[in-house]
Amino acid sequence: MWSDGAEMLLTSVVIVLREVLEASLLVSILSALSGVLGISRRWTGWALLFGLAGAVGYSFSVASISDWFDGVGQEVVSAMMQLLIFLLLLMFAFLATRAPGSRRLSEKLIVLVMAVMVAVAVTREGFEILVYMYAFSAELPRFMTTLAGSVMGACIGISIGVLIYYFVSALSPRLSLIVGLGLLALVAAGMLSQAVLLLIQADWLPSQLPLWDSSGWLSESSVTGQLLYALIGYEATPTALQASFYFGGLLLFLIVAVFAVRPREEVS
Amino acid sequence: MLFRAERLLLQITLVFVCSVVSITTHAEKPVIEIEIRDHLFWPSEVRVPANTKVKLLVYNRDSTSEEFESYELNREKVIMGNRKAVIFIGPLLPGVYPFFGEFNPDTAQGTVIVE
C-alpha cells in the first residue's frame, strides 16, 4: 500500500515538474531579460493570470477541440500555440537586441510579445496539469496524493526557474542578454520541433523513420531525459523533418538576434 | 566537408520525398482500435505491419481522463473520459514499442508489435 502511494506521488511529481519547467524557464529568462532591458516586470503577473484562465478554459473545451479536424484538433491547436510562441520568440530576439536605440518605440511591443508568449505557454502546460488533477478528483485519497505530488513538482519547477532567473540576472548586462537569448534560442528550437512532432502525429506532416536512436545513451523517460526535453527539446528518436526544423529554428533565431544587434554596433 | 553536407542534405531530401510519396499512395491506412477500461488497455497488445502508417483509435470507456503516452513511438495525447482519440503511428521498423497511460502507469500498459 505504501509503495503504491509512493509510486503515485513520484509519478505526479515528474508529470507536473515536466510541464511546469517549460513555462517556468520561459518566465524566468524573460523576466531576467526585462530587468536587463530596463522594463518593469509587472507584466509577468498579468501574463500568468491570463495563462491560468486560458488553461482552465482550454481544459473545459478540450473534449470538443479534440474532435476538430477528424479527431486531431488537440494536436493542431497545441502545435499552433507552439508555433505562435516560436514566432513571438523570434520577434523578441529582434526587438530585445535592437532595444537600446529605439527603446521608447518598442518597449510596449516587447512587453506585449513577452506577455502573450508566457500566457500561451502557461495555457498549454497548465491545461495538462489540470486535466491530470481532474482525473483523480473523484477519489479523495488518490487525489490528495496527486495533489501533494503536483505541489512538490510545481515547487521544484519554480525553484529551477528562480535559480535561472538569478543566474541570468547576476551576469553583466551584455553577457546576460547573450546567455538569455542563447537559452531562448534552445527553447524556441524545442518549440518548433515539438510542433512538427504534433503535426506528424496528426498526419498533417509526413512521418518518417527516426534519423537516429539515442535512447540507449539517454532515455527520454529518465529524469535527465525529461529535464533535457523541457530545456532543449531533447528527443531520443527524432525524424529528419523534426531535426531539420530544430536546427533550422535554432539558426534562424541566432541569425535574427545577431543581425538585429549589428546596426547598433555600427552606430556606436 | 562540402561533399558530406551535400550528401546529408540529399539524404534528408530523399527521406522527405519518400515519405510524401508513401503518404499519398497509402491513402487507406489500417485502423486499429484499442479501449481503455478500468485503467487497462484492451487489447494490451496490438500487431501492426512494418513500414506502414497506422491509425490508432483509442476509446476511453472510463469516466476519467487518461494520457496515451509512448517514448518509443514518440506519441502523447490526452483522452478525456468517455471520449475517443485518433493517433497516427508509423511507418515503423519491426520491433516492440511499449505504450502506457501516463495517469495510471502502474496498470495501463500495452505494446505495439511491429512485424
Q: What is the ipTM of this complex?
A: 0.84
Q: Once rounded to an integer, what is the mean pLDDT over residues B81-109?
A: 92
Q: Residue A222: is its pLDDT beyond 80?
A: yes
Contacts of A241 in chain B (CB under 8 A): 16
pLDDT band at B94 (very low <50, low <70, confident <90, very high): very high
Give the pLDDT of residue A141.
86
**pLDDT at B41 > cutoff 90:** yes
> What pLDDT, in 10s, does the model give residues A144-179?
999 999 999 999 999 999 999 999 999 998 899 999
Residue A90's nearest CA partner among A267, A264, A262, A254 is A254
Domain boundaries, chain B: 28-114
The pLDDT score that the predictor gives to residue A99 is: 55
Cα–Cα distance, A87 to B49 (Å, whole number): 38
pTM for the whole structure: 0.87
Nearest to B59 by CA among B37, B75, B38, B76: B37
Cell of B27: 491513402
User: What's the pLDDT at A6?
Assistant: 84
Best B25, B74, B83 residue to mutate vs chain A (most A CBs within 10 Å): B74
Q: Which CATH class is domain B28-114?
A: mainly beta
Q: Which residue has the higher pLDDT, A97 or B71?
A: B71
Confidence tier at A268 by pLDDT (50, 70, 90): very low
CA-nearest residue to B80 within chain A is: A63
Strand B75-79, strand B66-70: pairing: antiparallel
| CB contact (8 A) between residue B103 and residue A135 | yes
Q: Which helix (H) or strand (E) holds B91?
A: none
Residue A263 has pLDDT above 60, yes or no: no
For residue range A88-106, what is the model confidence (pLDDT) as tens digits? 999 999 988 875 555 565 7
Mean per-residue pLDDT of chain B = 85
Q: How far is Cα A246 from Cα A252, in angstroms, rounded to an integer? A: 10
Q: Which residue has the higher pLDDT, A44 or A63?
A: A44
Average pLDDT over residues A12-33: 92
Reported as type and span, the H/E element at residue B24 is helix B2-25
For residue B98, pLDDT over 80 is answered with yes
DSSP reduced 3-state for A62: helix
* Interface residue ranges in chain B relative to chain A, Cβ cutoff 8 Å: 11-12, 15-16, 18-20, 22-23, 53, 55, 63-67, 71-72, 74-75, 77-80, 83-88, 90-93, 102-103, 105-106
The CA distance from B61 to A58, in Å, is: 22
| Residue A116's pLDDT band (cuts 50, 70, 90) | very high
Q: Nearest CA of chain B to the CA of A3: how many Å?
A: 11
Number of neighbours of residue A51 by Cβ within 10 angstroms: 25
Of residues B15 and A211, the one with the higher pLDDT is: A211
Q: Cell digits for A20?
A: 511546469
A52-73: per-residue pLDDT in tens?
A: 999 999 999 998 999 999 999 9
What is the pLDDT, as a whole number, of residue A161? 95
**DSSP 8-state assignment for residue A101:** H
B106–A240 C-beta distance less than 8 A: no
Are residues B86 and A221, on separate chains, in Cβ contact within 8 Å?
A: no
